[in-house]
């Protein structure tokens, strides 16, 4: 294991994009607090792998850096 290896967990690409999404209504809103239904999605542009982050808990941090490890 090498901690200095950055990139997508699936393919190792460092080409990622960030999107902001809001989830409301049924489904996920039942699992999360309704006031916390703002999410950031980081997607690997190479393979499409995506991770969801709670916007509130990730405020102030660079979420793409988090995705890339
Ligand atoms: Zn990837």
pLDDT tens, residue by residue, 23-41: 765 555 555 555 567 888 9
Task: For residue 40, report the distance from its CA to the centre of ligand 1, in Å.
Answer: 17
Q: Running along the chain, 69 residues long, what does each successive block of 10 average in pLDDT?
A: 73 94 64 66 96 78 85
Task: For residue 57, report the distance from its CA to the centre of ligand 1, in Å.
Answer: 24
Report yes or no on whether pTM surpasses 0.95.
no
Taking the C-alpha atoms of residue 69 and residue 28, their distance in angstroms, rounded to an integer, is 26
Q: In the prediction, which pLDDT does 1 show?
A: 43
Task: For residue 58, report the distance from its CA to the centre of ligand 1, in Å.
Answer: 21
Tell me the C-alpha to C-alpha distance, in Å, between residue 4 and each of 7, 25, 35, 41, 49: 10, 40, 36, 23, 20
Q: In the prediction, which pLDDT does 69 show?
A: 84
Q: In the prediction, which pLDDT does 50 show?
A: 95
Q: In the prediction, which pLDDT does 29 show?
A: 52
**Neighbour-count burial for 42-62, b at 16+ CB within 10 Å, e otherwise:** bbbeeeebeeebebeeeeeee
């Amino acid at each position: 294991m090498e901690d200095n290896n950055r990139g997508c967990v699936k393919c190792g690409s460092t080409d990622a994009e960030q999107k902001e999404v809001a989830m409301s209504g049924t489904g996920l809103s039942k699992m999360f607090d309704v006031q916390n239904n703002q999410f950031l999605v980081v997607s690997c542009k190479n393979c499409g792998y995506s991770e969801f982050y709670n916007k509130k808990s990730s405020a102030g941090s660079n979420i793409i850096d988090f995705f890339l490890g």
